[in-house]
Amino acid sequence: MLNIYKLAIFQPKYLRVIGILIFVGIVMNIDRQKLFASIQQTDIVFFVIALCVQYMVYVLKIIRWHGMVRATAATPTFNESWHLYHIGIFLATITPAKLGEFGKAAYLRQKGLSMAASVMLVIIDRLIDIFAIAIIAIPSIGILFGVHWSMIILTCLVLGLIPVRFIWRRIPFSIEGKMIALSFLATTVSWALYFLWAILIAYSVDIHLPIHILIAVFTITGILSLVPIAPAGLGTRDAALIAFLLPYGIAPEQAISLAFFMFISMIFNSITGGYYWIKQ
């Protein structure tokens, strides 16, 4: 399997620890007793349900991935796609900006698929989610920052379709309409479940804001957590949640509790992929 550290070779080493330093700085400057109290008072039932919901998100994405791979010359079984995608989840969790997902391309290359097709599959898989979150980000930006910023994001999204169209024309395999429809359905349901997961964790730490506010906060936070300065968005997610939730009366300690359990959930649900990766 591809050395995951080579995936970030173009990234200055000091950038990889900025998120960790941000996290440490935040923890050192809040009331840690209140933080521990908030963590101890977590509703475990909500959190366990959230873990299950997040796993369902992964299942839907595996179904989407399996369909896309089958559209190429590769003919993996669903079990093989299951193992590979879980490995991708694990590598994405432990690398900044989810760069580890490109480990899936290396695996497909070993299975005989061309490097161009392998990398393109990973890029398309990422672009589908990026496009979906970009659409959700338009109203989310409006809710948090004002309508004029939504118009700016909408303009950027339209301009972003230009390179996407360029990439689409150079796909070295054909994707049938049925596959596109299945991908759209799986993506829509998976994002609905993603927000349900995040909201359940918010409820578990006694954050009960209006649903549209929470969705807006989680959307922008999710985008910011992709900044490649720490694995699994550590630090950036914490800082973003504090900044976005504070205007709604949520204490920093509660926001950090929310970020902590989101982080724990991602780590827990990546264990399966870690096991597959070590076992291979």
Residue boundaries of the structural domains of the chain: 15-23+42-279
User: Is the pLDDT at 113 greater than 70, yes or no?
Assistant: yes
Q: What is d(CA 259, CA 1) in angstroms, rounded to the nearest whole number?
A: 31
Q: Which candidate, 79, 65, 76, 73, places its Cα nearest to that of 114? A: 73
> Cα–Cα distances in Å, from 54 out to 151, 194, 237, 266?
31, 6, 17, 8
Find out whether 96 and 8 touch, Cβ atoms under 8 Å: yes
CB atoms within 10 A of CB 257: 28
How many alpha carbons lie under 13 Å from residue 257 in its C-beta half-sphere? 27
User: Is the pLDDT at 178 greater than 70, yes or no?
Assistant: no
Find out whether 76 and 66 touch, Cβ atoms under 8 Å: yes
Quick one: pLDDT band at residue 249, thresholds 50, 70, 90?
Answer: very high
User: Is the pLDDT at 279 greater than 80, yes or no?
Assistant: yes
Q: Which two tokens stand for residue 194?
A: 């993603």
User: Is the pLDDT at 252 greater than 70, yes or no?
Assistant: yes
Quick one: pLDDT band at residue 158, thresholds 50, 70, 90?
Answer: confident
Q: Which comes out higher in pLDDT, residue 99 or 279?
A: 279
Q: What is the pLDDT at residue 48? A: 97
Quick one: pLDDT band at residue 15, thresholds 50, 70, 90?
Answer: low
CB atoms within 10 A of CB 260: 21
User: Is the pLDDT at 164 greater than 90, yes or no?
Assistant: no
Distance of CA 42 to the CA centre of its chain: 23
Tokens 């690398």, residue? 95
Across the chain, mean pLDDT equals 83
Supply the Cα-derived Rg of the chain in whole angstroms.
Answer: 19
Quick one: pLDDT band at residue 13, thresholds 50, 70, 90?
Answer: low
User: What are the tens digits of pLDDT across the range 86-110?
Assistant: 988 888 887 765 666 767 777 777 7
Amino acid at position 143, single letter? I
Residue 1 contacts by C-beta under 8 Å, 6 or more apart in sequence?
Answer: 87, 103, 106, 107, 277, 280
CB atoms within 10 A of CB 228: 18
Amino acid at position 117, single letter? A
Q: What is the pLDDT at residue 7? A: 46
Quick one: pLDDT band at residue 9, thresholds 50, 70, 90?
Answer: very low
Q: What is the mean pLDDT of residues 233-259?
A: 93
3-class state of residue 113 by DSSP: coil
User: What are the tens digits of pLDDT across the range 186-221?
Assistant: 888 999 999 999 999 999 999 999 999 999 999 999
3-class state of residue 235 by DSSP: coil
User: Is the pLDDT at 152 greater than 50, yes or no?
Assistant: yes
